[in-house]
Amino acid sequence: MAKIAILDRKCIGCGVCASSCPFGAIDMKEGRPELNAGCRVCGVCVRACPEQAILRLETRTESVDKSQWRDILVFAEVSGGRLHPVSLELIGKGLELAKNVNFQVKAILMGHQVAPYAQELLHYGVSQVAVYDDPELAYFRADAYAACAEDYIKFAKPSVVLVGATALGRSLAPRLSTRFHTGLTADCTRLELRENTDLVQIRPAFGGNIMAQIVTTNTRPQFATVRYKIMNAPARREAAEGEILPRKLPKAVQTCRASCVSVTPVPPGESISDAEVLVVGGRGLQKEGDLKLIQDLAQALGGDWATTRPLVEKGWSTNDRQIGLSGRTVRPRLIITCGVSGAIQFTACMNASDHIVAINTDPAAPIFDVAHVAIVGDLYEIIPQLMKQLKEGQA
């Protein structure tokens, strides 16, 4: 690990370091520079100091006292006027992990007028919901949200912090892990907690060819992001348990550099991650117009359609309709794949679906390893037959 050291005997208090720091991490106090939590140890101040009074030191890693860091903290995301369902899924996983080591699961919530969401979270088994409620937090600003989360983490000292791998979570989590000089594993597909409270963070690596197990052994907290639809949300309990802890806005929010000028809401649209029924087209489709077969079948089943990555690369479809490691994770009740081979980068993000039906001409296609119903045949023959039977059934 590296750290920045300021040599008092050499420093003349000129303030060049403070004005050159790209992260606003140096405060001038009584004419002397002082580092704050925003320091990324980038070394810009070391090069800028005219007196060579700042050094970048490599330090030996010392293990943190793990017993001082307890409990699991879930970042409860409120965006677009709703509590993102991934937050409940993370609470569900947190409760499962917490059992083994006698931890509690807590949540942190930020925004403006978020009291109803805090109340709702108490129905899912969390022991505490820390709330930062202020007009300054009405819209996501990474630095403001990070300042609040940092404030609570310093206060509560959680061992594990779980964040949804949403656009917002992906912006927040790395900022936080850098502030605490600790590890973050993105897009975990499985989580386990050892007796010594080390979190085993499991995720596909090297293009999905191996499942890596990543452990943060010497530092706390341990940050992990998890995609929507990977974990199970707990059932809502009738009784609300636990406490709501209102927290004061930390001063750092006032000095945040980003401000919200205007907001353009994304038009409401269904995400394939929310679909209950999905029909997926792969490279077995011969031309762009043939996607109509997939769309028609999806419509007949009252579902949505999606594709594999090669179809996005051809420009036939868009990334928000792509299933896979570089697309979306889905977990519908029914998924029908048509002309999809079943590469690991695809199956890793749909294999938890309730019912998987695969249509492929190749009996050895790997998609059949995850399918519950395997149809070996030509999609150009099978889809019209399915459509015919659906129409007859409806009639």
Q: Name 202's Cβ contacts closer than 8 Å, sequence gap at least 6.
A: 188, 189, 190, 191, 192, 211, 212, 213, 214
Min separation Cβ 155 and ligand FAD, Å:
39
360 is an interface residue for ligand FAD by CB under 6 A:
yes
Min separation Cβ 282 and ligand FAD, Å:
3
Residue 94 vs 339, nearer CB to ligand FAD: 339
359 is an interface residue for ligand FAD by CB under 6 A:
yes
345 is an interface residue for ligand FAD by CB under 6 A:
yes
379 is an interface residue for ligand FAD by CB under 6 A:
yes
Q: Name 362's Cβ contacts closer than 8 Å, sequence gap at least 6.
A: 341, 376
228 is an interface residue for ligand FAD by CB under 6 A:
no
- Among all chains, which residue has been given the structure tokens 């070391």? 46
Q: Name 323's Cβ contacts closer than 8 Å, sequence gap at least 6.
A: 272, 278, 280, 306, 307, 308, 329, 330, 346, 349, 350
Long-range contact pairs involving 353-361 (C-beta distance under 8 Å, separation at least 24): 353/278, 359/383, 360/284, 361/284
Min separation Cβ 310 and ligand FAD, Å:
5
The 3-state DSSP composition of the chain as helix, strand, coil percent (nearest 5) reads: 30, 25, 45
x-or-dash string of contact with ligand FAD, 195-224, rule CB under 6 A: ------------x-----------------
Min separation Cβ 285 and ligand FAD, Å:
8
Among 221, 284, 303, 332, binds ligand FAD (CB under 6 A): 284
x-or-dash string of contact with ligand FAD, 297-326, rule CB under 6 A: -----------xxx-----------xxxxx
Among 159, 197, 341, 353, binds ligand FAD (CB under 6 A): 341
Among 277, 340, 371, 386, binds ligand FAD (CB under 6 A): 340
β-bridge partners, 185: 224
Helix axes of 167-179 and 142-156: crossing angle, nearest 10 degrees: 50
335 is an interface residue for ligand FAD by CB under 6 A:
no
Tell me the DSSP string of 250-262: PGGGGG-S-----
Residue 96 vs 274, nearer CB to ligand FAD: 274
362 is an interface residue for ligand FAD by CB under 6 A:
yes
158 is an interface residue for ligand FAD by CB under 6 A:
no
Residue 138 vs 376, nearer CB to ligand FAD: 376
Among 171, 361, 374, 387, binds ligand FAD (CB under 6 A): 361
Q: Name 142's Cβ contacts closer than 8 Å, sequence gap at least 6.
A: 171, 172, 175, 258
69 is an interface residue for ligand FAD by CB under 6 A:
no
What is d(CA 314, CA 319) in angstroms, rounded to the nearest whole number?
11
Residue 66, phi-psi category: left (phi > 0), alpha (psi -120 to 50), beta (remainder)? alpha
Other C-beta atoms closer than 10 Å to the C-beta of 215 total: 14
Count the site residues for ligand FAD by CB under 6 A: 27
Residue 90 vs 359, nearer CB to ligand FAD: 359
Residue 131 vs 371, nearer CB to ligand FAD: 371
How many CA within 13 A on the CB side of residue 238? 0
What is d(CA 189, CA 63) in angstroms, rounded to the nearest whole number?
27
Q: Which spans of this chain sit near ligand FAD (rule: CB under 6 A)? A: 207, 282-284, 308-310, 322-327, 339-341, 343, 345-346, 359-362, 365, 378-380
